[in-house]
């Protein structure tokens, strides 16, 4: 749930930056399932990373909306936040265990 909200927040930041995010690829879409299947340190670190990234995006987006509401140009700050988001997201994605060609294991 938090992962999807992060992707939505990134889309809002991209809009404020005046650019568009690419559609999320399979690695982004499958990340929650892959981490659910992970164990030990990998799962704990990924969950902590998502929580940290959510806190950063929440505060950053609130600040950007405040700047925008005052009529100032939020695009440079939004671009910086978007770059930071992408770097953090990519680091989290690198923590996911490898999955096969069919994606992560899912059970009913």
Express each pLDDT in 25-74 by its tens digit: 999 999 999 998 888 899 999 999 999 999 999 999 999 999 999 999 99
Mean pLDDT of the chain: 91
**Quick one: average pLDDT of 79-95?**
97
Contacts of 36 (CB under 8 A, 6+ apart): 43
Report residue 100's pLDDT band, with 50, 70 and 90 as the boundaries: low
Where do we find the tokens 């930071």?
84
Return the H-helix or E-strand segment holding 55.
Answer: helix 40-69
Query: How many of the other CB atoms lie within 10 Å of CB of 74?
Result: 21
Render the burial of 19-47: b for 16+ CB within 10 Å, e for the rest: eebeebeeebebbbbbbebbeeeebeebe
- Res 23 pLDDT > 60: yes
């Amino acid at each position: 749930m938090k992962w999807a909200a992060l992707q939505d927040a990134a889309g809002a930041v991209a809009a404020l930056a005046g650019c568009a995010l690419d559609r999320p690829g399979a690695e982004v879409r499958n990340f929650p399932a892959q981490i659910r299947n992970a164990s030990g340190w990998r799962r704990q670190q990924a969950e902590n990373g998502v929580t940290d990234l959510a806190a950063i995006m929440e505060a950053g987006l609130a600040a950007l909306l405040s700047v925008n509401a005052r009529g100032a140009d939020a695009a440079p700050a939004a671009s910086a936040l978007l770059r930071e988001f992408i770097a953090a997201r990519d680091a989290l994605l690198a923590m996911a265990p490898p999955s096969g060609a069919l994606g992560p294991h899912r059970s009913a």
